[in-house]
Amino acid sequence: MTIRALVLLATVAALAGPAGADSTQVFPLAANGVPQARAESLTRSLASAIHADVATVPIEDAAGLLECDIAATPCLDAVAKSVSATRLVYGVVSRGGASTKVTLTRFEGGSREQRDFELVSPTDEALGQELVRASAEWFGITPPPAPPPTETPPAREVPPPSGDVRSGSIKGTTWLLLGTGLVVAGVGTGFLVSSNNIENDVAAAPRETVADFQHLVELEDKGTLHRRLGQGFAIGGTAIVAIAVWRMLVDRSRVVRVEPAPVRGGATVSISWELP
């Protein structure tokens, strides 16, 4: 017996596990673009689940010792006989985008079948359990129970930085009240402007005939009416706006500035606020 034949027999004996009627031999899964440790972890998880022995060398090396190509069915038959197994399992672990792709080949009874499994678990150990669950029906085993769902802790409200004033939402009724106050104050401003214009007309009106004096009296009466209406609307609008501003502060809005300003024959109010 040649030295090469002795080496071949010793290697095949090392590959073989305990002989059995329905023994399965799992060859180390090849790592393609993933850590070698991940491929080894998946190999151990799969072999343990299907009660198989794990070969010490990849299937390509086992076929190389027998000088055959695993693409040929007779080669796989020879490998199965050399390790005293009725079923061979081998494959490749690769990266599939955000997932881990495992391509497994099962050779049994002279025929082979290949399947792909997409795994998404975060750890190598969890990937192994996911592979076992995904391939359980294919290998005719009972799948392990799925892990319990991870409970997401409730969101914790983060307090605002020191010195900040929390801003709440301003209610629609508050905005409506503010708009009403601005409209009323605007009407009052219009009457006041009209009153000032009438005063100018009175000052420029002719005073020569009786008709001129009658027209002058009518202008003065009209100016007085417009001034009173303007003052009333301006005061009422300003009061409504003040109430709206108070409501804004109650609604926890951002800073609102109210700046009243006197004008001839009445008053106006300037409002500014910081929107979210």
Same domain, 18 and 127: yes
Number of domains in the chain: 2
Stretch 11-40: mean pLDDT, rounded?
77
Greatest Cα pair distance in the chain: 151
Q: Can you tell me the distance from the alpha carbon of 45 to that of 42, in angstroms, rounded to the nearest whole number?
A: 5
236: CB partners within 8 A, 6+ apart: 184, 185, 188
Backbone angles phi, psi at 24, to 5 degrees: -120, 135
Type of residue numbered 146: A
* Residue 197 in domain: yes
- CB of 240 within 8 A of CB of 247? no
Q: Can you tell me the distance from the alpha carbon of 185 to that of 236, in angstroms, rounded to the nearest whole number?
A: 7
* Residue 22 in domain: yes
For residue 220, the model assigns a pLDDT of 83
For residue 185, the model assigns a pLDDT of 85
* Residue 185 in domain: yes
Range(s) of the domain holding residue 250: 172-273
For residue 11, the model assigns a pLDDT of 53
- CB of 256 within 8 A of CB of 249? yes
* Residue 46 in domain: yes
Q: Does pTM surpass 0.85?
A: no
Q: Can you tell me the distance from the alpha carbon of 255 to that of 252, in angstroms, rounded to the nearest whole number?
A: 9
If DSSP codes are grouped into helix, strand and coil, which group holds residue 218? helix
250: CB partners within 8 A, 6+ apart: none
Neighbours of 90 (CB within 10 A): 25
Structure-token pair, residue 199:
């005063």
184: CB partners within 8 A, 6+ apart: 233, 236, 237, 240
Highest-pLDDT range among 135-139, 141-145, 156-160, 171-175: 135-139
* Residue 79 in domain: yes
- The residue out of 97, 120, 139 marking a domain boundary is 139
**Residue 76: which CATH number?**
3.40.50.10070
- CB of 263 within 8 A of CB of 214? no
Q: Can you tell me the distance from the alpha carbon of 226 to that of 163, in angstroms, rounded to the nearest whole number?
A: 48
pLDDT tens column, 83-132: 999 999 999 999 988 899 999 999 999 999 999 999 999 999 999 999 99
Stretch 210-220: mean pLDDT, rounded?
80
pLDDT tens column, 156-194: 655 554 444 445 567 778 788 888 888 888 888 888 888
Sign of CA dihedral 132, 47, 85, 111: positive
* Residue 29 in domain: yes
Q: Which of 8-22, 93-107, 134-148 has the lowest mean pLDDT?
A: 8-22
Cα–Cα distances (Å) from 190 to 155, 193, 202, 221, 230, in that order, read 53, 5, 18, 17, 7
What is the pLDDT of the chain when averaged over all its residues?
80
* Residue 158 in domain: no
Type of residue numbered 153: P
Same domain, 33 and 122: yes
